[in-house]
Amino acid sequence: MINTQLYSLITFVYLLCTVLYLVHLLFKINKIGQIATALTFLACLTHLATFILRWVETYQLGMGHLPIRGPYECLTFSALAIVLFYLVIERTIKTKAFGGFILPLVFLLMVFATISSQIDRQILPMPEVLQGNYINYHLASCFIGYAAFTVSFVASILFLIDRKGDNLRSRGVGGSIPSRRVLDNISYKMIAIGFVMFTILIVTGMFRSKIIWGNYWEWDAVQTWSLIAWLVYAVILHGRFAWKWSGTITAILSIIGFALSIISFLTGAGFIFSSGHFPITG
């Protein structure tokens, strides 16, 4: 399939982007940063076009569903969402240094998806019980939410490491990365987006549960862990509005929420815990 070949090519381009962003971060060469942004934008456009191409192919094969079905598609789609979020953030905060921490994650997601021998790259059909547009909303919101929480997680880690800027300045990069105020703002906005996506995920999942199990809520392991993660992020947002939370407490809760959301993903994928949830690996 041409789309799998394109994904492999895009993975290599993301590697180049990672190297360029790291060089810019460490040596503060503006021209390198400009090239990194242009190449990332080009890779993102190609990535989006490849996703659409694979989507069209699902219809050509008589399946007709959003290509977010197996781990290959889930990982590549998440990488695409992270890059899109990053490019918007870069344009907003007017600094490219954050890319030195985001693009390596994107590259790792893509390289695992395209190289791992344990991952099937074929287009997989949806089970009959899950066919319909609602499952597209369920899956898309799920992995857009994961992508937003990933960006928030990275911003939170940098916020905690860079206390007063001393820790990163000692490594020669403290003057390049966004300020703690900007990192806190990035984390908060990504949490807000991810929270909305996870709300859609949970609501559409309830309708799925009704179709399959006859009840809107079955306390399935995936439902439970997703709900716990959602509640943590709800606490963060409520704390922000009601008690003006910011800074360290938000960063710590963001990291906790991200860990819980990853547990939800791994459970749904069938890697940990037993679940009657439809596995993305199936």
**What was the pLDDT predicted at 280?**
53
Q: What is the pLDDT of residues 183-233, one digit of tens each?
A: 999 999 999 999 999 999 999 988 888 877 788 888 888 889 999 999 999
Asked if residue 253 and residue 165 are part of one domain, the reply reads yes
What are the distances in angstroms from CA 116 to CA 3, 7, 109, 110, 267? 17, 13, 11, 10, 20
Kindly indicate the confidence band of residue 69, based on its pLDDT and cuts at 50, 70 and 90: confident
* Full residue range of the structural domain in which residue 234 is found: 128-282
Q: Which of 250, 258, 254 is nearest to 226 (CA)?
A: 258
Kindly indicate the confidence band of residue 281, based on its pLDDT and cuts at 50, 70 and 90: very low
Q: Which of 155, 29, 135 is nearest to 85 (CA)?
A: 155
Q: What is the pLDDT of residues 86-121, one digit of tens each?
A: 999 999 999 999 999 999 999 999 999 999 888 889
Asked if residue 102 and residue 216 are part of one domain, the reply reads no
What are the distances in angstroms from CA 222 to CA 1, 66, 79, 152, 226? 32, 21, 22, 22, 6
What is the rounded distance in angstroms from the CA atom of residue 9 to the CA atom of residue 211?
40
- Pick the last residue of a domain from 98, 125, 152: 125
What is the rounded distance in angstroms from the CA atom of residue 273 to the CA atom of residue 275?
6
| Residues 225 and 267: beta-carbon distance below 8 Å | yes
Asked if residue 90 and residue 158 are part of one domain, the reply reads no
- Pick the last residue of a domain from 110, 125, 140: 125
| Residues 68 and 144: beta-carbon distance below 8 Å | no
Pull the structure tokens for residue 199: 């709300």
Asked if residue 173 and residue 118 are part of one domain, the reply reads no
Q: Find the angle CA(236)-CA(268)-CA(82) to the nearest 5 degrees.
A: 55
Highest mean pLDDT of the ranges 7-11, 114-118, 125-129, 265-269 = 7-11
| Residues 226 and 143: beta-carbon distance below 8 Å | no
Kindly indicate the confidence band of residue 136, based on its pLDDT and cuts at 50, 70 and 90: confident
Instruction: Count CB-CB contacts under 10 A for residue 54.
Output: 23
Amino acid at position 264, single letter: S
Asked if residue 81 and residue 44 are part of one domain, the reply reads yes
Asked if residue 231 and residue 171 are part of one domain, the reply reads yes
- Pick the last residue of a domain from 99, 125, 151: 125
- pTM score of the predicted model: 0.92
Asked if residue 201 and residue 112 are part of one domain, the reply reads no
**Ramachandran area for residue 131 (φ above 0: left; ψ -120 to 50: alpha; else beta):** beta
What is the rounded distance in angstroms from the CA atom of residue 110 to the CA atom of residue 114?
6
Instruction: Count CB-CB contacts under 10 A for residue 95.
Output: 16
Asked if residue 139 and residue 118 are part of one domain, the reply reads no
Asked if residue 105 and residue 209 are part of one domain, the reply reads no
Asked if residue 19 and residue 62 are part of one domain, the reply reads yes
Which residues make Cβ contacts (< 8 Å) with residue 158, sequence separation at least 6? 101, 168, 177, 178, 183
Q: How many domains does the chain have?
A: 2
Asked if residue 71 and residue 176 are part of one domain, the reply reads no
Output helix, strand, coil percentages for the chain, rounded to the nearest 5. Answer: 75, 0, 25
Which residues make Cβ contacts (< 8 Å) with residue 163, sequence separation at least 6? none
| Residues 14 and 105: beta-carbon distance below 8 Å | no
**Ramachandran area for residue 273 (φ above 0: left; ψ -120 to 50: alpha; else beta):** left
Asked if residue 177 and residue 105 are part of one domain, the reply reads no
